[in-house]
Amino acid sequence: MLLVANILVFIVALLHVGFLALEMFFWDHPVGRKRFGMTPEFSKESATLAANQGLYNGFLAAGLIWGLIIDSASVKIFFLLCVLIAGIFGGFTARRTILYIQALPALLALIAVFLAR
Protein backbone atom coordinates (compact mmCIF):
# COMPACT_ATOMS: atom_id res chain seq x y z
CA MET A 1 0.00 0.00 0.00
CA LEU A 2 2.92 2.34 0.64
CA LEU A 3 3.94 2.11 -3.02
CA VAL A 4 0.41 3.04 -4.17
CA ALA A 5 0.32 5.93 -1.69
CA ASN A 6 3.69 7.23 -2.86
CA ILE A 7 2.66 6.99 -6.52
CA LEU A 8 -0.50 8.98 -5.78
CA VAL A 9 1.47 11.60 -3.82
CA PHE A 10 3.92 11.85 -6.73
CA ILE A 11 1.03 12.34 -9.19
CA VAL A 12 -0.35 15.16 -7.04
CA ALA A 13 3.13 16.73 -6.93
CA LEU A 14 3.42 16.46 -10.74
CA LEU A 15 0.02 18.08 -11.16
CA HIS A 16 1.21 21.02 -9.07
CA VAL A 17 4.41 21.34 -11.08
CA GLY A 18 2.12 21.54 -14.11
CA PHE A 19 -0.04 24.18 -12.43
CA LEU A 20 3.14 26.13 -11.63
CA ALA A 21 4.20 26.04 -15.28
CA LEU A 22 0.78 27.08 -16.57
CA GLU A 23 0.34 29.91 -14.09
CA MET A 24 3.90 31.25 -14.03
CA PHE A 25 5.08 30.76 -17.60
CA PHE A 26 2.10 30.13 -19.89
CA TRP A 27 -0.65 32.31 -18.40
CA ASP A 28 -0.17 35.17 -20.87
CA HIS A 29 0.52 32.79 -23.76
CA PRO A 30 -1.85 31.11 -26.23
CA VAL A 31 -1.57 27.82 -24.31
CA GLY A 32 -2.65 29.39 -21.02
CA ARG A 33 -5.34 31.53 -22.60
CA LYS A 34 -6.84 28.50 -24.32
CA ARG A 35 -6.63 26.32 -21.18
CA PHE A 36 -8.33 28.92 -18.99
CA GLY A 37 -10.57 30.50 -21.65
CA MET A 38 -9.13 34.01 -21.30
CA THR A 39 -8.84 36.97 -23.58
CA PRO A 40 -5.35 38.35 -24.25
CA GLU A 41 -6.27 41.47 -22.30
CA PHE A 42 -7.37 39.55 -19.21
CA SER A 43 -4.37 37.22 -19.24
CA LYS A 44 -2.01 40.19 -19.49
CA GLU A 45 -3.74 42.07 -16.65
CA SER A 46 -3.82 39.04 -14.34
CA ALA A 47 -0.41 37.54 -15.14
CA THR A 48 1.24 38.77 -11.94
CA LEU A 49 -1.52 37.31 -9.78
CA ALA A 50 -1.35 34.02 -11.67
CA ALA A 51 2.43 33.86 -11.26
CA ASN A 52 2.03 34.31 -7.52
CA GLN A 53 -0.53 31.51 -7.47
CA GLY A 54 1.81 29.35 -9.53
CA LEU A 55 4.59 29.91 -7.04
CA TYR A 56 2.35 28.65 -4.23
CA ASN A 57 1.56 25.56 -6.29
CA GLY A 58 5.29 25.04 -6.66
CA PHE A 59 5.68 25.16 -2.89
CA LEU A 60 2.98 22.51 -2.54
CA ALA A 61 4.77 20.30 -5.07
CA ALA A 62 8.09 20.83 -3.27
CA GLY A 63 6.54 19.86 0.05
CA LEU A 64 5.06 16.69 -1.39
CA ILE A 65 8.36 15.75 -3.02
CA TRP A 66 10.15 16.48 0.25
CA GLY A 67 7.70 14.15 2.04
CA LEU A 68 8.48 11.43 -0.50
CA ILE A 69 12.25 11.91 -0.21
CA ILE A 70 12.34 11.75 3.59
CA ASP A 71 9.52 9.17 3.63
CA SER A 72 7.49 11.10 6.18
CA ALA A 73 3.78 10.36 6.38
CA SER A 74 3.30 13.51 8.48
CA VAL A 75 4.84 15.76 5.83
CA LYS A 76 2.83 14.09 3.06
CA ILE A 77 -0.38 14.43 5.09
CA PHE A 78 0.25 18.10 5.85
CA PHE A 79 0.85 19.05 2.22
CA LEU A 80 -1.97 16.85 0.91
CA LEU A 81 -4.32 18.57 3.35
CA CYS A 82 -3.09 21.94 2.06
CA VAL A 83 -3.77 20.82 -1.52
CA LEU A 84 -7.18 19.42 -0.58
CA ILE A 85 -8.25 22.62 1.17
CA ALA A 86 -6.97 24.76 -1.71
CA GLY A 87 -8.79 22.52 -4.19
CA ILE A 88 -12.07 22.70 -2.29
CA PHE A 89 -11.78 26.47 -1.94
CA GLY A 90 -10.94 26.86 -5.64
CA GLY A 91 -13.76 24.54 -6.61
CA PHE A 92 -16.30 26.70 -4.84
CA THR A 93 -14.84 30.14 -5.62
CA ALA A 94 -13.24 29.82 -9.06
CA ARG A 95 -14.17 26.74 -11.09
CA ARG A 96 -16.05 23.61 -10.17
CA THR A 97 -13.58 21.48 -12.17
CA ILE A 98 -10.85 22.30 -9.63
CA LEU A 99 -12.62 19.87 -7.30
CA TYR A 100 -11.86 17.04 -9.72
CA ILE A 101 -8.46 18.19 -10.97
CA GLN A 102 -6.90 19.23 -7.65
CA ALA A 103 -9.01 18.19 -4.65
CA LEU A 104 -9.96 14.65 -5.70
CA PRO A 105 -6.40 13.47 -6.45
CA ALA A 106 -5.26 14.95 -3.13
CA LEU A 107 -8.09 13.20 -1.28
CA LEU A 108 -7.26 9.84 -2.90
CA ALA A 109 -3.57 10.25 -2.07
CA LEU A 110 -4.43 11.28 1.48
CA ILE A 111 -6.59 8.18 1.99
CA ALA A 112 -3.81 5.99 0.58
CA VAL A 113 -1.21 7.58 2.88
CA PHE A 114 -3.45 6.97 5.90
CA LEU A 115 -4.04 3.34 4.86
CA ALA A 116 -0.30 2.80 4.36
CA ARG A 117 0.55 3.93 7.90
pTM: 0.94
Q: Are 12 and 64 in contact (CB under 8 A)?
A: yes
Confidence of residue 82 (pLDDT cuts 50, 70, 90): very high
Residue 4 is which amino acid?
Answer: V
pLDDT tens per residue across span 11-31: 999 999 999 999 999 999 999
Look at residue 50 in the predicted model and tell me its pLDDT. 96
Whole-number Å distance between alpha carbons of 29 and 35? 10
Whole-number Å distance between alpha carbons of 117 and 111? 10
Whole-number Å distance between alpha carbons of 113 and 13? 14
Whole-number Å distance between alpha carbons of 43 and 11? 27
Q: Are 109 and 5 in contact (CB under 8 A)?
A: yes
